[in-house]
Structure formats: C-alpha cells, structure tokens
Amino acid sequence: MTATDRTSSPIPEAARDPARPRAILVVDDHDLVRMGVCALLQANVSATPIEVLEAGDLAQALAVYEDNQDAIELVLLDLALPDTQGLSGLMEFRSRHPAARIVVLSGTGTTSLAQDTLAQGAMTLGAFAFLPKSATLREVVSFIRACGLLGGDAVNYPAFPAPAAVDVAQPSSSNARHKLTKRQLQVLNWLLEGKSNNEIALLAEISEGTVKNYVAGILLQFGMRSRAQLISSLR
C-alpha cells in the first residue's frame, strides 16, 4: 500500500531571509542519529550551504522552528520522542506551524501493515513524507537530495515506502569495514558479540564516552541509524 505522493515545493523566495542559508531541522532524541544525519547532510551539500538545526524533543523542536522558520525548509520529525505519543507530535507541529514541510521518521510499526497504517495516518495529517526507521541514514539523505535541498534539481518522489529506490551508490559492508581503523574494527567485533558500551570500555581500557565516539563513527561509516540496525545488517 502506497501513501499519496507529494512533490517537492520550495519555499517562496519572499518567505525566506536571503541573508541566511537554507536549513533543515532534525528532531530525534538519539544523539547518534542527529549527529549522523547532520554529518551526512553537510558532506553531501553540492551547491549553496545548508544549515542543520537539531532538537531532542517536541518542545525544543517547536521553539527552534519558531525562531528559524524563515530559513527551515524541511523538518525531519521522529515520532518516538519523550514528550509525544503516536502521531501527537506531528499533530501539534502541524497545528502550530501548518506551512511546515515535515518528513516523519518512525520505527513504531513493526509489520508492513502497521507501517502502512501509520504512513496513511501521517499523510492524512499533512506530513510531506513518511520514512520508516528501517531506512538507513544514507537513504534519508538521498531522499532529502531528491527534494532538491542539497543542490541539483528536485524530483518527484513517492512518500512511502522508504527511499531505497533512489539511484545512489550505497556503500557495501566490505567497503565500510575497509575504512574502519584497527580500534574501530575491534569495537565493531565487540558490538557484534552483543557487548554493551560499559563492557567494551572495560575490555579496551578506555572511557565509556570514548566508546560512544567509536560507535558513532562506525554507524556513520555504515550509514546506519542505530547499533541494532548495524548488528542486524551484518549478521
């Protein structure tokens, strides 16, 4: 089942502050997800600069949007935020800012039917698109590129399913492994063994914060959104 398609519609120039670069607001309560999306967006900009703004919950997202709505052209909104439930975050955002272009990111539905139902609900409430959280970071960025926000011409793009059909080169697991440092490979092996950050820190004799930095770098190399997604893809 496919939700209604929406084509990209750039914000009118008169509505934007010409002194500011275009911006994307990333709303997710996971630091690693926000960091990964931000890094890939900045690495893939091919024309004018794009500003990446972040928020960890709905209240913060609404405040950031209020202060920067003249520049924000797209909002990546996670449904599973600490201060939301189901589609409530999308409903609140749309009621406060009906002109906002919101791409919903969701990992709530575990079955195809559940995902379809959630996607239909999001689109009915005015979401610009729906991307399941099974989509990798690189697929999310590919979707944003297809909207014309990273340089180049926008293209018509279906709202659901995830943007795996975008014609971009996805890194293979072997290529991603080849780019890892010796220490990152060691941490990756421990991750695949199911060890926690604390256990890895003890084994490697480093701080847990350093382990988190290694994990973040590994996720970015593979274009994954979470360690669970990484482990699932490599096993």
Measured over the CA atoms of residue 99, residue 37, residue 82 and residue 84, the dihedral's sign is positive
Three-state DSSP state, 104: strand
pTM of the complete model: 0.61
pLDDT band for 167, please (50, 70, 90 cuts). very low
> Which range is most confident: 29-33, 105-109, 227-231?
29-33
What's the pLDDT score for residue 222? 74
What's the pLDDT score for residue 31? 83
Percent of the chain at pLDDT above 70? 70
| 73-96: average pLDDT | 91
| 162-181: average pLDDT | 51
What's the pLDDT score for residue 164? 33
Question: How many CB atoms neighbour CB 210 within 10 A?
Answer: 15
- Range list of H helices, 129-222: 137-146, 173-179, 182-192, 197-204, 208-222
What's the pLDDT score for residue 54? 94
Identify the residue with better confidence: 167 or 209: 209
